Structure 1
Amino acid sequence: MFLRRPPTCRRPLLSAAVTATALGVGLFLAGGLGLAPWPGAGTGENAAPAAQARGPATVADPTAAHITALQARLRRTPKDAVALGTLGLEYVQQAKSTADPTYYPKAEEVLQRSLALDTADNFTAMGGMAALEAGRHRFTQALDWARRAIAVNPYNASLYGTLADACTQLGRYADAADAVQRMVDLKPGTPSLARASYVAELRGDTGTARTAMRRALQDAGGPADQAFAHYYLSELAFTGGDPATALTEAEAGLRAAPSSTALLQARAGAEAALGRTGAAVADLTRAVQRVPLPEYVLQLGELHQSLGLHREAAEQYQVFRAEQKLFTANGVALDSDAALFEADHGNPGRALAIARQGIKSRPFLDSHDALAWALHVNGQDGEALAESDRALALGTRNALFHYHRGVIERALGNTSAARRELNRALTINPHFSPLHAPEARAALAALTR
């Protein structure tokens, strides 16, 4: 599945020039945005290859340069619907790559202007709206816009990526797999292969996930694609409990793209797992200084906390809270990351409120796990176990999910199940969290006495 080449008769539709002209350079280059597989979208992340929009943060910012060029063009031709749609897409990408959600209202304004000029056939702006709504974690709306765009242009691979991302976050995994297959058939490049990798990863098939990313690396058209593939190979190695390979892949990616913040963050995670905590702190600090993505800020805070640097950890947690307020003020719905943060570091009641709301707008595996954990810290372990069932329903090999389940089972008095789940977490990845992995080891030791 996913790795076959598209039929020969479709090849003329896949030329870069044709696709870029038809959809707009922004959507073509961003691989559909939305939750495209590169850090910076939301999933926490765990995302996505979460199915989240990821792109290397670099010192020389091509997105900013393209925004400036589009703004100049629109001063000359303010009723250029395609340019407006493309500018909206670039604003969405800039919001993700800079962790600045104030670009989302800007994106909505220019996308609506574009749609007002061309309502019927404007799939550039429709795709932009899908990406915008995905960025704001409004996935039902993202799904609607993606379908509308595809109805206008059913041969654009990037639009199927946006559709797949929305379906994934809405828990429609079979529909997401179908959309990814269509994307691969149309254009078997880095964005489609990364999504195919994620589909396999969600189902616990890490071998296929690595194969897809290896093929993406082989097919890489330049340093950016190489860095993209190395990042995902690093993530797959790390989550599979192999930090040495994760470090090798991250460093290979940094050789291809030395200014990639995402790869700097990936290297830090591997360094921490290998006991190189000084290097990890240095790399994560640089990543946060470059691009203060909430996931980077939280990762640095938890690393500080694990090292007993409580003042430094508190500073990062304060930044994370401020970022959540800024995201909310700009229309982004909070879900799993915010819920887990409150459960681990803040207010249990708020964690549960966020998690319950998040499951409504984003019934994804991560959201079920976050709700399970929020229920646990509020003493509602029976309901928590049911949510944990949903988080693990696809067979995803996620150490944090199994750790949460193990703690829930222990709270319910299910000693044998608790031992099994905690052992499973540490078998999958003994370094899954600088805070929770040691807790898992201690709990397992206590249960086996």
Structure 2
Amino acid sequence: MRLRRLPTYRRILLSAAVATVLAAALFLAGGLGLAPWPASQSARSTPDANAARSPAAGADPLTAGITTLQDRARRNPRDPVALGTLGLNYVQQAKITADPTYYPKAEAVLKRSLALDSTDNFAAMGGMAALEAARHNFAQGLGWAERAIAVNPYNATLYGTLADAYTQLGRYSEAADAVQKMVDLKPGTPSLARASYAAELRGGLTTARTDMQRALQSAGSPADQAFARYYLSEMAFNSGDAHQALTDAEEGLRAVPEDAPLLQIKARAEAALGKNTEAVADLTRAGQRLPLPEYVLQLGELHQSLGRTKEADQQYGIFRAEQRLFAANGVTLDSDAALFEADHGDHAQALALARKSLKSRPFLDSQDALAWALHVNGQDEEALTASDKALVLGTRNALFHYHRGMIEQSLGNTDAARDDLTKALAINPHFNPLHAPLARAALKSL
């Protein structure tokens, strides 16, 4: 369709309002997994959450910005720019604090902003796209991103939001096109990080790491450095190089001490290296800084792997409580909730969650979660089909191959099971403190 040109004064006002906020939201409210709790072994689905930076002690500009915008909105309740920016700040605050009660607040002010200006208001449209992505409503998020881009086709951040939605909806070629457009408009840490992820999904780890190194070189702030270091560390860990993962995490923590995502990936590397005391301590600190369900679950599984059943059960109880809190505030529970129930809870509930997840988020993670939920419910033929779909892009994911290997073992496909279990452990021999030992035992039995 033919795009209208914004009046000059409107373009200036809206661009000023979102130039900083919308760009910052790239790390906090969209893919690269910007889900409230990404699957512990998935790449940056949600993805997300790993990108949320812990607020520095004594310095919280986001909270200060929210206060300023609230005052501005009270003085002029018909200011769509202030309301739109406030809504996007609420989405960021939800990510930074892992407090989903900010989502209803964000929706309310964004809708007020759009009621005042539904034509040129790409700030509020982008805010709605970020909100829906954060709540795992990716089809709705895609619609809002498309509307925002129709108003302002030159905003690189909006193409990042668009790419995130396409990725989670399983539209990988369109996601790659959106990422390329983002890089063309503004090469830098946010766009190069997405380019890295697009390569990683397709098994191109060398390209993925090169792009993330470029993202690190482009980092203009300690927070951006920590962001890039986190993903470098995660890629190293997911490739089985725990020593490099630890090095990258420690480098990132020198830029942003006590950063929760870096503490989390540092803990995973430490556990892989047998440093269990340090791993428990760092994962506990990460959860105290940023109480994400992902961190709670990982700490529970680490405790369980060490024979600490009471401590593990306590973490699993917290995980369930956090699930209820997120669901009560509009977040759609998906693959992580399904995998948790499959491994630690109600198998029937796992399958129901997995099927629901696939409808709203037909991403690789959702296919894998469905495969595993079907397997634990004894439906292995259908499980194998879903597992094949999880690996369709050639993603090098140890957990996916472990799940597929165990499904094949149940089906009596011994050679195929042996191949997938071998591949899982070759990709990362420490991919999960509970499942990696089971993979080795199953392989030995074969």
Deviation of 1:34 after TM superposition, in Å, equals 3.2
Q: Secondary structure at the match of 2:104?
A: helix
Equivalent residue letter for 1:64: T
The aligned residue for residue 285 of structure 1 is: 284
The aligned residue for residue 261 of structure 1 is: 260
Is 1:35–2:30 an aligned residue pair? yes
The aligned residue for residue 379 of structure 1 is: 378
Tell me the alpha carbon deviations over residues 194-243 of structure 1, each in whole angstroms, 9 at most, x when there is no partner. Answer: 11000000000000000001001111112111111111100000000000
The equivalences for 1:48-447 within 5 A come to: 48=44, 50-52=46-48, 54-58=51-55, 59=57, 60-447=59-446
Aligned-partner Cα distance in 2 for 1:244–1:19 = 46
The equivalences for 1:16-31 within 5 A come to: 21=16, 23-31=18-26
Equivalent residue letter for 1:157: A
Asked if the contact 2:212–2:228 (Cα under 8 Å) also holds between the matched residues in 1, the reply is: yes
Tell me the alpha carbon deviations over residues 34-68 of structure 1, each in whole angstroms, 9 at most, x when there is no partner. Answer: 32437664423634165536221123333222212
Tell me the alpha carbon deviations over residues 394-415 of structure 1, each in whole angstroms, 9 at most, x when there is no partner. Answer: 0000000000000000000000
Aligned-partner Cα distance in 2 for 1:185–1:362 = 27
Q: 1:336 to 1:36 in 2, by over 3 A?
A: closer
Larger CA deviation: 242-251 vs 41-50:
41-50
Aligned-partner Cα distance in 1 for 2:46–2:333 = 16
Deviation of 1:25 after TM superposition, in Å, equals 3.0
Q: 1:232 to 1:218 in 2, by over 3 A?
A: same
Equivalent residue letter for 1:44: A
Asked if the contact 1:56–1:260 (Cα under 8 Å) also holds between the matched residues in 2, the reply is: yes
Q: 1:243 to 1:37 in 2, by over 3 A?
A: same
Aligned-partner Cα distance in 2 for 1:420–1:302 = 26
Equivalent residue letter for 1:55: A
Q: 1:357 to 1:106 in 2, by over 3 A?
A: same
Larger CA deviation: 29-38 vs 381-390:
29-38
Aligned-partner Cα distance in 2 for 1:19–1:420 = 55
Asked if the contact 1:38–1:55 (Cα under 8 Å) also holds between the matched residues in 2, the reply is: no
Larger CA deviation: 148-157 vs 89-98:
89-98
Aligned-partner Cα distance in 1 for 2:132–2:164 = 11
Aligned-partner Cα distance in 2 for 1:27–1:397 = 32
Deviation of 1:97 after TM superposition, in Å, equals 1.8
Asked if the contact 1:38–1:228 (Cα under 8 Å) also holds between the matched residues in 2, the reply is: no
Aligned-partner Cα distance in 1 for 2:209–2:37 = 22
Larger CA deviation: 249-258 vs 213-222:
213-222
Aligned-partner Cα distance in 2 for 1:252–1:148 = 40
Structure 1: runs of 5+ lacking an equivalent = 1-16
Deviation of 1:291 after TM superposition, in Å, equals 1.4
Asked if the contact 2:35–2:133 (Cα under 8 Å) also holds between the matched residues in 1, the reply is: no
Asked if the contact 1:399–1:426 (Cα under 8 Å) also holds between the matched residues in 2, the reply is: yes
Larger CA deviation: 150-159 vs 69-78:
69-78
Asked if the contact 1:52–1:165 (Cα under 8 Å) also holds between the matched residues in 2, the reply is: no
Larger CA deviation: 281-290 vs 349-358:
281-290
Asked if the contact 1:74–1:83 (Cα under 8 Å) also holds between the matched residues in 2, the reply is: yes
Total equivalences in the alignment: 431
Asked if the contact 1:196–1:209 (Cα under 8 Å) also holds between the matched residues in 2, the reply is: yes
Aligned-partner Cα distance in 2 for 1:243–1:133 = 34
Deviation of 1:361 after TM superposition, in Å, equals 0.2
Aligned-partner Cα distance in 1 for 2:130–2:368 = 25
Asked if the contact 2:27–2:52 (Cα under 8 Å) also holds between the matched residues in 1, the reply is: no
Deviation of 1:421 after TM superposition, in Å, equals 0.3
The aligned residue for residue 8 of structure 1 is: none
Deviation of 1:33 after TM superposition, in Å, equals 4.5
Aligned-partner Cα distance in 2 for 1:29–1:386 = 39
Q: State, as a whole percentage, how many aligned pairs show the same letter.
A: 69
Aligned-partner Cα distance in 1 for 2:333–2:35 = 15
Deviation of 1:77 after TM superposition, in Å, equals 2.1
Asked if the contact 1:340–1:373 (Cα under 8 Å) also holds between the matched residues in 2, the reply is: yes
Q: 1:249 to 1:306 in 2, by over 3 A?
A: same
Tell me the alpha carbon deviations over residues 155-195 of structure 1, each in whole angstroms, 9 at most, x when there is no partner. Answer: 00000000000000000000000000000001111111111
Aligned-partner Cα distance in 2 for 1:205–1:194 = 14
Deviation of 1:73 after TM superposition, in Å, equals 1.9
Structure 2: runs of 5+ lacking an equivalent = 1-11
Aligned-partner Cα distance in 1 for 2:276–2:249 = 16
If the length of structure 2 is used for normalisation, what is the TM-score?
0.94
Q: 2:39 aligns with which of 29, 44, 54?
A: 44
Q: Secondary structure at the match of 1:406?
A: helix
Equivalent residue letter for 1:273: A
Q: Secondary structure at the match of 2:429?
A: coil
Equivalent residue letter for 2:174: D
